[in-house]
Amino acid sequence: MEIAYFNGKFIPKEEVKISPDDRGFLFGDGIYEVVRWYEGFFYDMNSHVTRLKRSLRELRINWDDTDKFPTIASELLKLNKLETQPAMVYLQITRGAACRTHSFPSPQVSPTSYAYAWGFVPDRKSEENGTKVMMKDDIRWSRCDIKSVALLANTISYQEARENGLNECIFVRNGLITEGSHSNIFFVIDGTLFTHPESNFVLSGITRKNILRIAQDSGIKIREEAVQENRIRFIQEAFITNTSSEITPVIELGGNSLGNGLPGPVTRLIREKFEAELKAIKG
Ligand code: PMP
């Protein structure tokens, strides 16, 4: 039986009941966080907790248990017997249930909190051989820095990618490449690593942050600067990053083949360093 966390309790998932008046349901008025378990540790849990706090603060949702997230996540793994395999934990907090009106409930209501865990098999094929992605106009709102559950523009764009046999949709805003529907994107141009700077137009990925640190430590030149869509022909390598898939090389971007259709040397080096870091943490 799958056990979930719901409003402070660990209960069978099928017993979770969310009000139809929940603002997460009515307005997408909530945030989420996702962490990855590496058979022994959560990768950079501290940064996930920090981002969780920031998302809540930006939306003015007062959930008192942010510091309990690591314990909640560990408990879910234990209760679902997932400790000895790769797993993910998802946490969602909404503003809570209240009579539908755009303004926040007054007086305040308790936020709704929900989390669950699942085991998974990493997609080694894409991670090693690379993947193909499409590009399209960034139709999202301009607070992409908040990890909001309101992801409609992301989901329809990703669906479009899947229907075209592609594995991610990369957004372009005013001619500048921002990020993917559920990943950040990096480029290698003449040996320099580029990625969009932290801003309201991208999510500050935890993987992104760690890749920048690893690249810096490896002596790779870095420019946190958006790449123009019309400079694709100058890109030698690209890769996308997120918590679940880590670093996935991109071998085709918006119909343009990159490198020789193979993951490039900078991407491979960063992947190796990331793997080495995981091994070192595991001890
Ligand atoms: N951008 C978006 C839009 C995302 O949904 C994600 C995945 N959470 C990322 C970037 C990557 O973030 P992280 O490395 O923290 O998983």
Q: Determine if ligand 1 sits within 6 Å of the CB of residue 195.
A: no
pLDDT tens, residue by residue, 175-234: 999 999 999 999 999 999 999 999 999 999 999 999 999 999 999 999 999 999 999 999
Q: Which atom in ligand 1 lies closest to the alpha carbon of residue 203?
A: 1
Closest Cα to atom 4, ligand 1: which residue? Answer: 182
* Calpha distance 273→209 (Å, rounded): 14
What's the CA gap between 87 and 36, in Å, rounded?
6
- 104-126: average pLDDT: 94
Q: pLDDT confidence of 42, banded at 50, 70, 90?
A: very high
Residue 36 clears pLDDT 90, i.e. is over it: yes
Segment 3-17 mean pLDDT: 98
When pLDDT is cut at 50, 70 and 90, the band that residue 125 belongs to is confident
Strand, coil or helix: 69: helix
Q: Which residue has the tokens 């660990």?
A: 10
Least confident of 17-21, 121-125, 128-132: 121-125
Above 90 in pLDDT, residue 14?
yes
Q: Is the pLDDT of residue 123 over 90?
A: no
Q: Hey, what domains does the chain have and what are their CATH numbers?
A: 3-119 (3.30.470.10), 124-282 (3.20.10.10)
Q: pLDDT tens digit string along 235-279? A: 999 999 999 999 999 999 999 999 889 999 999 999 999 999 999
Tell me the average pLDDT of the chain.
97
pLDDT for position 136: 97
Confidence (pLDDT) at 177: 98
Rounded Cα distance between 172 and 170, Å, is 7
Q: How many angstroms does the Cα of residue 221 sit away from the middle of ligand 1?
A: 23
Ligand 1 neighbourhood includes 29 CB (under 6 angstroms): no
Query: How much is the average pLDDT of 2-13?
Result: 98
What's the token pair of residue 232? 């694709």
Q: Which residues contact 96 (CB under 8 A, 6 or more apart)?
A: 22, 23, 105, 108, 109, 110, 111, 112
Ligand 1 centroid to Cα of residue 180, in Å, is: 8
pLDDT at 234: 97
- 25 three-state secondary structure: helix
Could you tell me the pTM of the whole model? 0.97
Please determine, for residue 145, whether its predicted confidence score (pLDDT) is greater than 90.
yes
The answer to whether residue 173 scores a pLDDT higher than 90 is: yes
Pocket flag, ligand 1, residue 51 (CB < 6 Å): no
Cβ–ligand 1 contact at 170 (below 6 Å): no
Does 36 contact ligand 1 (Cβ within 6 A)? no
Amino acid at 204: S
